[in-house]
A and B are shown apart, each in its own frame.
Chain A
Amino acid sequence: MTKKFTLTPYFFLVPAVAAIAVFVLYPIFAVVYYSFTDYSIVTPPIWVGLRNYQQLFHDSIFWKALEHSFIYLLVTPTLIILSMVLAIIVNRKLPGISAFRAVFFIPVISGSIAVGIAWRLMLDTNGIINGILLAVGALKEPIQWLAEPALTLPLCMLLTVWLGAGYYMMIFLAGLQNIPEELYDAAVIDGCSSWQKHWYVSIPGLRPQITFVAVISSLAALQVFNEVFTLTGGLGGILQSGYTVVYYLWQQAFRLSHAGKASAIAMVLLVITLLFSVMNIRLLESGTEAEA
């Protein structure tokens, strides 16, 4: 029986395609175009060819921001390990365990901006962190946490981990609950300790979730902005210590009105994140194939 060709399904797709074309594809093409122009947002763009990319290549601040973005990727393994541990802990049938799951999830729904502002207040020279440390005698003088260049990026990364751990915990929790109980029974019969059960059963069983978390969290790390902006009060950290690629892009576009250069930064970031995602997926999935 031959299927009669009909346009009806395509008409149902048109609204979604139109929305994607307008809100995703058009901005991407526009940014590609702007990256070859001198564009201040308030005046029309002027074609300058590769000048923006050449400037980026010689821009020491851009390379510093890129370096910080790669350092920021350290949150990925941290989040994977921490979230997995939390998921294993809350994956128990204990009374009240749901409350713990909810508590760990609260940072996820709190909003990064609000949490960032709260952390900025806590880390202030006169904030509660210094207050507690001074009270217990751990400090003689308050530390200006957010004014120490060496601490800016680690504090931003700590905030990212705090915000994201609950979300990834839920992903791993769902994965753990899909692992057949018989595998754990077999491991017990084989004489595995608790630790070995998780090493030989849980972690291999969570490989798809690990791949997913690795890709998503590393993309988020490369594109971090909210934590840097809120903790540094918009300055980006003393001596550019909190500059990341997206922060630098924002500064070029909206502080200095160099939307052309910012678009070039966006293009570089796009290429990096694409390469990174492909690498991530291939590395992790090749591990899965090897096991199979």
Chain B
Amino acid sequence: MRNKLFILLVLVSVVLASCGTATPAPQAIPSPVTVIQQVVVTPTPGPNPEAVIPNVEANATVTFWTFWLSPTFDQYIKDTIARFNQAYPGVTVKWEDHQATFQDDLKAAFAAGNAPDVINLSVGEGWVSDYATQGLLLPLDKAVPQSVKDVYFPGLWSEQLVNGQNFQFPWYNFVAVDLINTQIYTGTPSKDASGNTVYTGGAGLNTADFPKTTDGIPALCATIKQKTGTLCDIRLTVNDLLSQMVYEGNVKVLSDDGKTFTFNSPEGVAWLQMYVDMVKAGTVDKTVLLADQDRDSLNLFETGKAAFYQTGPNLIRDVRANNPGLYGYLAVVPAPVGKSGVGGKGGMGISVNAKTKYPNAAIALAQFFTNPTSMVAFSKLVSVYPSSPSAYDDPFFSAPSAAIEDSAKPAAKDYISKLADIVPAVPNKADVNAIVLKHIQDALFNNVSAQAALDAAVAEANALIK
């Protein structure tokens, strides 16, 4: 009995031990666990900062013509168009580059009614006002938001005005420089017996003394001719002589009411007489003086037979490609400034066809190519300069220049900011220019006095616009 009771007690104890809870051992407080939970947030895309033109037509197709940029800048153009498509998706751009026949192609396209929507036109050659006066370009002052207009230097936005209206987005500009062939200008350096550097075979001139104003050129040409027998490579802007008169001679070409030409003034005579004197002195190459294309002047310089040539640094690459030997003897100096004190107009602009089916898309493309980002990218490829002050904040423009092509870079912003179109809108400009060209030739080559030549030109030009 006792045994049974004992066994029962053991069994009960076992059961109770297994069922009952022992006094729980104090549990350890769990240390905090840091749970990193990744939350993937897809950001709502914000507006593209380069898409500044509103109401761009959806599914627009715009054609864009450039002037003499292919094939060197093909990749730049294509990359910029690709960026444009990111800013303005849905707009298709068809790009064509035209070269020597650009003007003929463009006129034929306007005549046929299939002119491009967006057109690269030369501001320097006066093409913008040529087409704008015929009602072929879209006025931009009202079509473009003020915030966009403020991106550009004011002097460049207000160029080639027709009836006070602007028809171009200023694109790339040139800093006018003179390329100097130091072999002719200074001479070939060598060491004499004393170890001093001497220059032989040249005019013995110092590039630092290159004239700062255009009225110093005749004396320079006389010196070069006398010492080396070389003629000066100077070209008149035969397609825009009135413009050259204004910048170089500070000549007032048109009366304030725009009804009478006035370039036969003493200033006009003085300007023409400067060239007459150079021709009579035999110091200029007459075939280049009235060459139709500036390329003739460039070609002469590239042969190594000219002491200096006025151009933009962007054409130094041409010299390097065509005459690598000459490249090693190049110096670059700022081009002389005329009596107007203004260095010149802008270089190239982009305009919009007045009859484009997609005006906002066309304006957007024109603005995109001329915005600071696009311009800085272009400036890094070739020595041309932007039309926007903010573009010059890019470190590229303050970086030291290694190549001679970039020697104008440090002063570029200051120079470009002062460019301005100071030539009034001339009625029947092409015909008046042809009249001026005809009569100045009489003064240059036919022993007619400069005064008589300009008087005859003014009389004929006034009869034209009567």
Contact = CB atoms under 8 A, between A and B. Distances in A.
Given A233-B292, A256-B434, A238 B107 contact: no
A139 to B, nearest CB: 12
Contacts of A147: 285-287, 289
A124 B300 CA distance: 9
B442 interface: yes
Contacts of A256: 430-431, 434
Q: Chain A contact residues (Cβ within 8 angstroms of B): what range?
A: 20 to 34
Contact of B134 (A42, A61, A240): A42
A254 B291 CA distance: 17
Contact of B104 (A40, A149, A254): A254
Contacts of B296: 233
B194 interface: no
A238 B286 contact: yes
Contacts of B14: none
A233 B291 contact: yes
A43 interface: yes
Contact of A233 (B287, B430, B441): B287
Interface residues of B, number: 33
Contact of A125 (B111, B231, B438): B231
Interface string B419-462: 00000000000110010001001101110000000000000000
Interface in B166-199: none
Contacts of B290: 235, 238
B355 to A, nearest CB: 11
A264 interface: no
Nearest to A125: B285
A126 interface: yes
A235 B238 contact: yes
Contacts of B287: 124-125, 144, 146-147, 233
Contacts of A40: 134
Interface string A121-134: 00011100000000
A180 interface: no
Contacts, number: 64
Given A126-B303, A126-B305, A144-B286, A238 B445 contact: yes
A234 interface: yes
B58 interface: no
Contacts of B229: 141
A234 B292 contact: yes
A141 B107 CA distance: 44
Contact of B293 (A124, A125, A146, A233): A233
A255 interface: yes
B288 to A, nearest CB: 9
Nearest to A240: B438
A182 to B, nearest CB: 56
A270 interface: no
B118 interface: no
A42 B136 contact: yes
A255 B430 CA distance: 8
Contacts of B285: 125, 144, 147
Interface in B43-77: none
Contact of B107 (A61, A234, A235, A257): A257
Contacts of B305: 125-126
Closest 8 A-B residue pairs measured CB to CB? Answer: A147-B286, A234-B292, A42-B110, A126-B305, A147-B287, A41-B111, A146-B287, A144-B286
Interface of A: 40-43, 61, 124-126, 141, 144, 146-147, 149, 233-235, 238-240, 254-257
10 contacts: A41-B111, A125-B231, A125-B285, A146-B287, A147-B289, A238-B441, A240-B438, A240-B441, A255-B430, A256-B430
Given A40-B134, A41-B108, A238-B445, 8 more contacts: A42-B111, A147-B289, A233-B287, A233-B292, A235-B290, A235-B292, A254-B107, A257-B430
